[in-house]
Chains A and B, each alone.
Chain A
Amino acid sequence: MSLTIEETKVRNKELIAEVLKAYPEKSAKRRAKHLDVHEEGQSECDVKSNIKSLPGVMTIRGCAYAGSKGVVWGPIKDMIHISHGPVGCGQYSWASRRNYYIGTTGIDSFGTMQFTSDFQEKDIVFGGDKKLEKIMDEIQVLFPLNKGITVQSECPIGLIGDDIEAVSKKKSKEYGGKTIVPVRCEGFRGVSQSLGHHIANDAIRDWVFEKTDADKNKFEATPYDVAIIGDYNIGGDAWSSRILLEEMGLRVIAQWSGDGTIAELENTPKAKLNILHCYRSMNYISRYMEEKYGIPWVEYNFFGPSKIEASLREIASHFDDKIKEGAERVIAKYKVLTDAVIAKYQPRLKDKTVMLFVGGLRPRHVIGAYEDLGMNVVGTGYEFGHNDDYQRTTHYVKDGTLIYDDVTGYEFEKFVEKIQPDLVGSGIKEKYVFQKMGVPFRQMHSWDYSGPYHGYDGFAIFARDMDMAINSPVWALTKAPWKK
């Protein structure tokens, strides 16, 4: 028995009022601004975003370090990223984001390693600059094929007054102009991962673009050069995207930053078009390249055939007929696959409902893929989205959708309990809460160790995964028969 749109809106509004009752008055007032029911025709979802989380509420958010080291910089495979500070941050973010790459780890690639300055009390008291210098020297000896070093600041660095910029400059000079990038991504900066993305983008601008010798890494440019921006190659996402772009006749000269290299970053200003997947984490550098080098950028969405098709055409519209024809050829070629995928899975998934809570892109970007399978997203929200993300979200969500920004553990649990969606898509911290409740779940950060989900090859995996979550026989067995 499904509710009408008007009934859904009433139910959702009641639900919001109900969860707010649990908070102390001051906190309820603040949380109220983050929760809303979408009204069709609104130009933006009417929620506040990108502001401080309330203490003690069990926010799902992370920190600036996670945004810089974990997201933007970490996947650059031929550089060594030092987690600068105590041991924990680097340990918990060690190889956990599934940024796939090809390379000989420990020799010419370093993606799944944990380099830390492992701060001790004396480093806090006397400062860590000397230790950082020593660490860079040791890296040069033990990892001679590293193509550069980044310093990913943890909380103490900014508090004890270390000058990591001076150390980086000094050491870069000593090693003949080696790329050494200090990143001020201390975890207490900003309100979430988001500021870390921005700081990391700025660090690329200031310490890579500004310092790159134009004659380094020379290659012949072509009119069809593009860079993939904001794809972290989780489970191989950037690869199943790149292959489509190349098939349509484009040449991908850089991947930011999944399976990426410093040379690719350095050469990106030679691109004709930057194509941006994760707007939230890399719009900053895209805008900068537009201003500085006149490179236009276009957002695209490679989740699900409808959005892929539209995106391929949008990207092609920036090029000549050869590319436009290429796009049509690619669309036609893969139609056989996507038709077969939809024919197989849509009957099993039709009208199933989904609630999402992910980072800065997927709460809207994956909606089309679900709809291609006949499913409906009935609630969504961003861990660290901004106002411009919520504006973009209006083009994706349906009337009456429940919107929750920076949702707390309490709210999310209550929402799901009441709405009883057929699937929840969120992160590892949420996964087991909902599975215990008997609600099928997929991790939508790590693809639950599956993927890729991008591109046509990825869509087949996505459809299969959603089906195996929702239609698994386990959900019919969670209640003991004598208790039903």
Chain B
Amino acid sequence: MSQNAEKVIDHEMLFREPEYVEMFAKKKEQFEFAFPVEKMEEIREWTKSKEYQDLNFAREGLTVNPAKACQPLGAVFAAVGFAKTLPFVHGSQGCVAYYRSHFSRHFKEPTSCVSSSMTEDAAVFGGLNNMVDGLQNAYNLYKPDMIAVSTTCMAEVIGDDLGSFIRTAKQKGSVTEDFDVPYAHTPAFVGSHITGYDNALKGVLTHFWEGKERTPNESINFIGGFDGNVVGNMPEIRRILDLFGADYTVVCDPSDVWNTPTDGEFRMYDGGTTKDEVKRALNAKATLSFQGFSTEKTTKYIAETGQEVVSLYHPMGVAGTDKFLMEISRLTGKPIPESLEKERGRLMDAIADSSAHIHGKKFALYGDPDLMLGMTAFLLELGAEPVHVLSTNGGPEWAEKVQALFDASPFGAGCHVYPKKDLWHMRSLLFTEPVDLLIGNTYGKYLERDCNVPLVRMGFPIFDRHHYHRFPIWGYEGSLRVMVSILDEIFEALDANTIDTAKTDYSYDIIR
């Protein structure tokens, strides 16, 4: 017995105690009928080969460890970005349990969302009754100002028609006729979570804008796109726009509801874009989307109303942020504030101080298409080589844009882009063409383990590190933070590699 009341031993160390180690060995030997260790080792080595990589890349049906989620997750993200809005997902209830858990594990915050809890009878007869009862219950219990409806794949497969269901529910008195119930069909078998964000956001805008006369003014709209760092990024964007003195509307802002205080009160709703703001946003002279691939349909719809639309692709780093600020300046007619120029200079200062440690380093990165474009550009700017850039939900159009970034930089030679690929593809790449650092979400830790490459955590979800989402990665300040997180991993790796006393510790330097 190793456990100890005075100093309790946790799982991490408990199962290394001899009695457990012996128990595991016996279990394996007597009952598991596992393959011999030699066989396992042989296959493990084989999976590192080019031959295995070719077989791996020849996959047509199987997806292993993808870096994407499904549409309704993104729809819930979009819905919580509006003030006092309750996301309502029409379909099976298990899906909603998953979205809520997924967001709560990332943001360490509650995520309120309801389901219409469809079961077998609804599969046969359709989910109209679920919609009628669901809207009524949700409205009475949670007193939202708006209920934003999206769908799970079940409702999509049986062909439930949200528009007519919501109309019927209103006729039956579930909610009043004038209560706002924007909706979007968000089939999980099309696109990914960013598509769901896009559809749901377009659904809200359509609900408030359709048939309304546009009276252009001088304001601009900002749309962030699906973003795991939204809690940190959105206040940073507001700070930047405030420094310009811009008249602006952030359309969809969940940064408050996923950042509520612990002070004795649970706030189901907090912050978010109000209905008046959404209505007003129709009159803006332009809309700036920070993530073009996350807002394809929304921006198309906005452009059709007569607004100018500027779609960026997650601009980061120096040139990316420059472009972002210049667009704001152009659209608002206001000069770039001196204080932001100074921030730019400070970022440049930091890069100049540290770039020697990043220059020439090889990176692999994966994630949502917009983030990958921004990150690739930033890495090239730092003199790094983003040799594997992969996205499960990025298509050929995205790949062309990444390739264009490679082509425009001497550091892009020898770099490759991988659209519609997953993390098991990445595993092969990391064995056949190793890199110095990996950038991606929490799931990258399995690659860190298998391929022995340090992971810089970025993207969504991040479950195994706390509070990253609270800090911005946008703007000059955000970019500085991104660079610091890369440097931290580089220095950690360097220290770990030189820590052996009397063997390698001559390079265990106190000054780097």
Q: Which residue of A lies closest to B105 (CB)?
A: A428
Of the candidate stretches B152-160, B211-219, B288-296, B492-500, the one touching chain A is B152-160
Interface residues on A, range: 35 or more
* Given A93-B98, A437-B265, CB of A264 within 8 Å of CB of B43: no
Q: Are B93 and A63 in contact, with the CB atoms below 8 A?
A: yes
A114 touches B134 (CB 8 A): no
Chain B 1-34 interface mask (CB, 8 Å, partner A; 1/0):
1111110111100110001100110011011111
Q: What sequence of 0s and 1s flags, for each residue 410-437 of chain A, a beta carbon within 8 Å of any chain B beta carbon?
A: 1001000000000000011111111111
Q: Kindly list chain A residues whose C-beta atoms are within 8 Å of the C-beta of B152.
A: 155
| Interchain CB contact under 8 A, B262 and A121 | no
Is the Cβ of B61 less than 8 Å from the Cβ of A113? no
Distance in angstroms from B111 CB to nearest chain A CB is 7
Closest to B63 in A: A118
Question: Which of A37-45, A102-110, A295-303, A367-375 binds B?
Answer: A102-110
Contacts of B94 in A (CB 8 A): 61-66, 89, 187, 193
Q: Contacts A24-B137, A264-B31 given: A479-B44 contact, CB under 8 Å?
A: no
CA distance A359 to B69 in the complex (A): 25
Q: Of residues 40 to 55 in B, which have CB atoms within 8 Å of A's CB atoms? A: 40, 43-44, 47, 52, 55
Verify B70–A159 contact, CB threshold 8 A: no
Q: Say yes or no: is A480 at the interface (Cβ < 8 Å to chain B).
A: yes
> What residues of A have a CB within 8 angstroms of the CB of B131 in the complex?
55
B35 contacts A by Cβ under 8 Å: yes
**Interface check A401, CB cutoff 8 A:** no
The docked-state distance in angstroms from the alpha carbon of A137 to that of B4 is 50
B88 to chain A, nearest CB (A): 7
| Identity of the chain B residue whose Cβ is nearest the Cβ of A330 in the assembled complex | B1
Least distance between A71 CB and chain B CB atoms (Å):
12
Is the CB of B249 closer than 8 A to any CB of chain A? no
Interface bits A85-99 vs B (CB < 8 Å: 1, else 0) = 111110111101000
Q: Decide if A58 is an interface residue (CB 8 Å cutoff).
A: yes
Residue of A nearest to B192 (CB): A87
Minimum C-beta distance from A141 to chain B (A): 6
Q: Does B141 contact A (CB under 8 A)?
A: yes
Interface of chain B residues 130 through 149 with chain A (CB within 8 A): 130-131, 133-142
- A190 CB within 8 Å of chain B: yes
Q: Is B118 part of the contact surface with A, judged by Cβ < 8 Å?
A: yes
Check A87–B11 contact: CB distance below 8 A. no
Q: How far is the CA of A26 from the CA of B174 in the complex (A)?
A: 12
Verify B11–A452 contact, CB threshold 8 A. Answer: yes
Does any Cβ of B come within 8 Å of A208's Cβ? no
By a CB distance below 8 angstroms, the chain A residues around B23 are 239, 242-243, 246
Known contacts A55-B116, A156-B189; A115/B64 CB under 8 A: yes
Bitwise interface map of B from 89 to 132 toward A, beta carbon under 8 Å scored 1, else 0: 00111110111111011001111111111111011000001110
B11 adjacent to A23 (CB under 8 Å): no
Q: What per-residue 1/0 map shows which CB atoms of B435-464 lie under 8 Å from chain A? A: 000000001001000100000000000000
**Please, which residues of chain B bring their CB within 8 A of the CB of A160?**
157
State in angstroms the CA–CA spacing of A134 and B61 once bound together: 6
* Cross-chain contact B263 with A219 (CB below 8 angstroms): no
A188 contact set on B, CB distance < 8 A = 91-92, 118-120, 122-123, 154
| B267 adjacent to A123 (CB under 8 Å) | no
A116 lies within 8 A of chain B by Cβ = yes
Q: Which 3 pairs across A and B sit closest by C-beta, in order of nearness? A: A63-B94, A88-B70, A55-B134
Sample of 18 further A-B pairs with CB below 8 A, known A23-B137, A66-B98, A107-B40: A53-B93, A55-B114, A55-B117, A58-B141, A60-B97, A108-B35, A124-B157, A131-B61, A156-B154, A156-B157, A253-B31, A254-B31, A267-B31, A337-B4, A337-B5, A429-B110, A438-B263, A457-B9
Residues on B lying within 8 angstroms of A by beta carbon are: 1-6, 8-11, 14-15, 19-20, 23-24, 27-28, 30-35, 39-40, 43-44, 47, 52, 55-56, 59-66, 68-70, 72-73, 88, 91-95, 97-102, 104-105, 108-120, 122-123, 129-131, 133-142, 152-154, 157-158, 187-190, 192, 260-267, 424, 427, 443, 446, 450
